[in-house]
Amino acid sequence: MSPIIEFKNLTKRFKTRIAVNSLDFNIEGGEIFGLVGPNGAGKTTTMRMLVTLLKPDHGEIYVGGHSIRNRPNEVRRQIGFMPDSFGVYGDMTVQEYLDFFGACFKIHPQQRGRLISDLLELVDLGHRRDDMVDTLSTGLKQRLGIARVLIHDPSILVLDEPASGLDPRARVEIRELLLEVARLGKTILFSSHILADVGELCTRVGILEDGKLVALGTLDQLSAHVMPYRQLHIGLLSRREEAQVTLQSMEGVFEVRPVDNVSRVSLEVDFGGNEEAMHQLLAKLLAHGFPVIHFSEETNNLEEVFMRTTKGIVS
């Protein structure tokens, strides 16, 4: 893989406020990259510079090797950008809306019809093609927005908070749609202030705070970096109290908590060892004759990663 987007020392000020502060990182072709951070962190400003709507004060961005400063037209050709608000084209039909943007990109009228049908099928809006844009729910408007940014067949989609304001069902649908778009070979950069939106979807996550990238990596890497220990779940048929005492005396174990759920008795263990040590821990439990029926590591603690990172625990 080679970088398709390169941020180099990117900096933007608004008067005295630094909105984006020395951003330096790459996004590889084919990635689904989540830019995450609280409101005001600089996500939108970063994206607006990437899509050539705003000039940086310092630094550069290269898109497919083209500089946003010197080759803005080449950059725009490669990118489809969906801003965080929908725009004002409500009084036309879904079909007309896409046709309008197709015409803007000078796509031949004969090709447009076919293309629009394909896009509507992709975003699952074929049945609404003759409805007015105004009448669509927020979730459907977001899907239409994604169809629109695909119309000139860009290799990169830049989506600013595509899941914001959506109900849980529409969120899941957007997530599935983005995965489908990624399968078409597109690179996706999207922002969110909600961690749960990026967790299952992204190849990598960058956490932005106060204009600075405070963490970057896969979810697993971020967890390992931020969390001083792993969280293990151990399910037992019986003898939970006894197992708890035994575990507490084992090397690398920080804390053991009983967890009650309907179907089984289990323990939650904060553990400071590597995978080999995890294996040893399990082997010892079995050697003691404990009836272990479940043993797993909690890896999806993105919320915790985010809280710790943005509290400045990681520098």
Ligand X SMILES: Nc1ncnc2c1ncn2[C@@H]1O[C@H](COP(=O)(O)OP(=O)(O)O)[C@@H](O)[C@H]1O
Does residue 309 belong to the site contacting ligand X (CB under 6 A)? no
The residues, ordered by sequence, that sit 6+ positions from 282 with a Cβ below 8 Å of its Cβ are: 292, 295
Burial of 117 (0-12, 13-18, 19+ CB in 10 A): middle
Q: How far apart are CA 129 and CA 107, in angstroms?
A: 19
Q: Choose from ligand X, Mg ion, none: what does 204 bind? Cβ within 5-8 Å by kind.
A: none
Q: Does 46 contact Mg ion by CB under 5 A?
A: no
Token match 């109290």: residue?
241
Q: How far is the CB of 193 from ligand X (least distance, A)?
A: 7
Distance (Å) of CA 264 to CA 282, 289, 295: 18, 18, 12
Which option in ligand X, Mg ion, none does residue 41 bind, with CB closer than 5 to 8 A by kind? Answer: ligand X
- Using CB under 6 A as the binding criterion, the count of chain residues that bind ligand X stands at 11
Q: Where in 58-77 is the site for ligand X (CB under 6 A)?
A: none
What would the two tokens of residue 303 be?
A: 């919320």
Q: How far is the CB of 44 from Mg ion (least distance, A)?
A: 3
Compute the least distance from the CB of residue 48 to ligand X, in Å.
8
Q: Is 248 helix (H, G, I), strand (E, B) or coil?
A: helix
The residue from 30, 40, 72, 217 that contacts ligand X (CB under 6 A) is 40
Candidate ranges 42-50, 131-139, 182-190, 199-207; the one touching ligand X (CB under 6 A): 42-50
Residue 289 CB contacts under 8 Å (≥ 6 apart), including other chains? none
Per CB under 5 A, 44 contacts Mg ion: yes
Binding residues vs Mg ion (CB under 5 A): 43-44
Give contact residues for ligand X (rule: CB under 6 A): 14, 17, 19, 37, 39-45
